[in-house]
A and B are shown apart, each in its own frame.
Chain A
Amino acid sequence: MSEVTRAEYCVIACAEAWRGAGEILASPMGLIPSVGARLARHTFAPDLLLTDGEALLVGLDGTVEGWLPYRQHLALVTGGRRHVMMGASQIDRYGNQNIACIGDWAKPTRQLLGVRGAPVNTLNNPTSYWVPRHSRRVFVERVDMVCGVGYDRAAGARHHRIPRVVSDLGVFDFATPDRSMRLASLHPGVSVEQVREATGFDLVVPDEVSRTREPTAGELRLIREVIDPEDTRAREVAC
């Protein structure tokens, strides 16, 4: 098989977010997290619930197994049996996330999506993030509008947890004493310097830096032939 692409390492890194999650809803936002969630469901997390992106719970072959309109989806969020992977227009060292607007909220220079469900997600179920282009514009010292709540602002809220941030450069977590962002693994072909250069705050880098794991031959075949034969993943992360 041809060389593993960066997009495929990203798929693996996203899929790993749902390892051992049990019978919960995987809510991936973005192409690569969607491929990752399906890969997890195909392999090491067979009990995951998946949606068709609308109101139905579906199996891997599209078989409908449940009904989940927005209202029930919001109830499921508050029940906690869900792990969502959201996007982030900005994210800071404690995992505060912004998708609402850039600049002054009262009169933004760029209006984005709005807070959406980020405040309720982060206080109720594990929330991870996916950033397809790691840069200082995204990894900022301070976000302009806190939508998803970070560790410094959650004040130990009982159901708050940000398991990981996945970018095109690596995987990050908050396994530090003050819960600030730490480099958990580098995707093969990426250097620590490259990550530091693209990050607008001081990132915690352990002495021994891990590499994002290799996909197995079976996983590569699933990604390339079964889950994403159209190679949509390359649209989010090239090379």
Chain B
Amino acid sequence: MTDRADKLLSADEAVSRLRSGMTLGIGGWGSRRKPMALVRALLRSEVTDLTVVSYGGPDVGMLAAAGRIRKLVTAFVTLDSIPLEPHYRAARERGAFELTEVDEAMFMWGLHAAANRLPFLPVRAGIGSDVMRVNPGLRTVTSPYEDQETFVAMPALRLDAALVHVNRADRLGNGQYLGPDPYFDDLFCEAADAAYVSCERVVDTAELTKAAAPQSLLVKRHTVTGVIEAPNGAHFTSCAPDYGRDEAFQKRYATTPWPEFAARFLAGDEQAYRSAVGEES
């Protein structure tokens, strides 16, 4: 029997496989279970000119502040407990990048289309709203059946790469979430040509279902390229049940001028980040 592929990588190794100009999907939702260790590694790299596809939180805020985004595809950017993401806001108000603004459901059906290798999926959303005005490329499709209703033909959001963070994974790429909401992380992986899954802890495959039900196995290994062990890797976003959002640190992020925040917390590697965060608390 041949050994199956061990996909374990460091965050920097994963990011070294990304290229400028790529379309990158980032999992999680708002300021929840964001793959922040991978985002921090991305910020340490030279990769730029990205099209970022995200239900946005501080991942978008940081990449926007650092000037890495050429185009953003989103329905919102928020820190949840702080409704407006200040660094994203500032970037938008200075016109720093292109925006494809779609509704939450349109975004989801775009990922579904990509995962299903379809060019689009019809969605009852967008018509009548200014989503159509600000996305002049969006097309509609009329039902071929009796109802003749018109829908938005939401184009597939195919991704060059996806970054997601889960609670546990094995070295083969089977990823498990233990919190109450899967968000859309499995879809991001299915919609991408390559997917990098960071996790709180890498465990043996058998251990995944010792304490949790099999339906917590969210991400399947055939959709995963690399597994990154990143304890506290969603910090300062939440990663239930392992930890909640670090509200104090999030506030610090939101109120500190970006250059100062980046110099203090993002100048070194992940270990340096953890030390700097530790000194704060």
Contact = CB atoms under 8 A, between A and B. Distances in A.
A55 B181 contact: yes
B84 interface: yes
B175 interface: no
Interface of A: 54-56, 67, 69-71, 74, 77-78, 100-101, 105-120, 122-124, 145-149, 153-155, 157-159
Given A110-B93, A117-B104, A54 B183 contact: no
A41 to B, nearest CB: 21
Given A105-B134, A114-B101, A115-B75, A69 B182 contact: yes
Nearest to B55: A70
Given A54-B180, A74-B104, A149-B127, 14 more contacts: A54-B181, A71-B183, A78-B124, A105-B130, A107-B95, A111-B88, A111-B92, A116-B104, A119-B129, A120-B105, A120-B123, A120-B126, A147-B129, A159-B124
A69 B101 CA distance: 23
B149 interface: yes
Chain B contact residues: helix, strand, loop or mixed:
loop
A67, A71, A106, A120, most chain B CB atoms within 10 A:
A120
Contacts of B92: 101, 107-108, 111
A154 B95 contact: no
B76 interface: yes
Nearest to A160: B128
Contacts of A149: 127-129
Contacts of B101: 100, 105, 114-115
B127 A157 contact: yes
Interface of B: 29, 56, 74-78, 83-84, 88-89, 92-95, 101-106, 108, 123-131, 133-134, 149, 180-184
19 contacts: A54-B181, A67-B180, A71-B182, A74-B105, A110-B93, A111-B88, A113-B83, A114-B77, A115-B103, A116-B75, A116-B104, A118-B129, A119-B103, A119-B127, A123-B128, A146-B133, A147-B130, A149-B129, A157-B128
A114 B77 CA distance: 7
A120 B181 contact: no
A113 B78 CA distance: 7
Contacts of B102: 115
B113 to A, nearest CB: 15
B180 A69 contact: yes
Contacts of A108: 92-93
